[in-house]
Amino acid sequence: MKDSMNRRQFILAAGALAGSAVLAGCGGSSTSSSSTSTSTDSSSNAASSSSDDSYTLVKNGTLTVVAELGFAPFEYMNDKTGDPEGFDVDVINAVADKMGLQCEYLPNQKFDTLVPLIKQGGKADVSIAAITITDEREESVDFSEPYLDSNQAIVAIKGSTETEETLNDASKQVVCQGGTTGNDWITENLPNATCVPVDDVTAALTGVQTGLYNAMVVDLPVAKYMLTNSFSDLDIIEEIATGEQYGIAISKDNPNLTKAVNKALEDMKSDGTMDSIETKWFGSTI
């Protein structure tokens, strides 16, 4: 009886292996630089003879990216060209390039839909959107190795006397982008304040400008960039050392894609690509 159970288990395991081989045949690999999107044979994307490092792609030869495109300097729409631009856009383009893939962005999505969208699969291969690696998100998706460190900031109108203490009051409206770590920080650290999650960072900052909100909690590099470039009448009243790290979100069903992305990031660190992208967007390597 025990023997037959073992045989059954073996057959199940063999079946699972065969299944993964079929999957691998539909995917790309770290050497699939010559794959073409005109091919009708989906298996042609796997150029490597070894199926061990194969990954799947939504579209052959293409790394399909989803993001919330209102988070300068990480990702925003260039109004003139209609193309996404930013630090993350440069990073993911370089990653795709290293993998021999084209990079294609899906239309803008709300931030709090990105992780569920990657978890669900079928629409995008990766999401890069200044997404902080958190334990909660790691239950839904895998992340690449961290590619940037970050913190939070409290933003208020210039000359404001608000502090973390004064904001922790039900009469105070503290805005954030919904579903972000800034949102979590308010909930945990300003439990008495009225937390207002919104979709759009620019709308949130405009609301702080007009007095609709008393303050905003947002990623520090975004606060710095937006205040320098568009909101000169706002100030960072406190920097919060949350010690966050950004990662690229990838489906748990596609572990070899995470490996290939990590390999590309590693190469970008050692060959100076990452340094030059950091210098381009932040003036120096940070």
Per CB under 6 A, residues contacting ligand GLN are 68, 71, 111, 129-132, 177, 180-181, 219
For residues 261 and 144, is the Cβ–Cβ distance under 8 A?
yes
Minimum CB separation of residue 252 from ligand GLN in Å reads 18
Can you give the three-state secondary structure of 189-246, one letter per residue?
A: HCCCCEEEEECCHHHHHHHHHHCCCCEEEEEHHHHHHHHHHCCCCEEEEEEEEEEEEE
Minimum CB separation of residue 68 from ligand GLN in Å reads 5
When the beta carbons of 133 and 268 are compared against ligand GLN, the nearer one is 133
When the beta carbons of 181 and 262 are compared against ligand GLN, the nearer one is 181
When the beta carbons of 30 and 180 are compared against ligand GLN, the nearer one is 180
When the beta carbons of 55 and 231 are compared against ligand GLN, the nearer one is 231
CA–CA separation, 269 vs 277, rounded Å? 10
Minimum CB separation of residue 125 from ligand GLN in Å reads 18
Phi/psi at 76 (5° precision): -155, 160
**29 contact partners, CB below 8 Å, separation of at least 6:** 45, 46, 47, 48, 50, 51, 53, 54, 55, 256, 260
For residues 64 and 125, is the Cβ–Cβ distance under 8 A?
yes
Among candidates 114, 118, 154, 117, which has minimal Cα distance to 130? 114
Minimum CB separation of residue 16 from ligand GLN in Å reads 34
**Omega into 84 within 30° of 0, i.e. cis?**
no
Minimum CB separation of residue 156 from ligand GLN in Å reads 19
Minimum CB separation of residue 70 from ligand GLN in Å reads 8
When the beta carbons of 177 and 254 are compared against ligand GLN, the nearer one is 177
CA–CA separation, 158 vs 205, rounded Å? 12
Minimum CB separation of residue 180 from ligand GLN in Å reads 3
When the beta carbons of 71 and 87 are compared against ligand GLN, the nearer one is 71
When the beta carbons of 53 and 142 are compared against ligand GLN, the nearer one is 142
Alpha-carbon 256 to chain mean position? 18
When the beta carbons of 125 and 184 are compared against ligand GLN, the nearer one is 184
**17 contact partners, CB below 8 Å, separation of at least 6:** none
Q: Which residues pair with 249 in a beta bridge?
A: 127, 143
Minimum CB separation of residue 183 from ligand GLN in Å reads 7
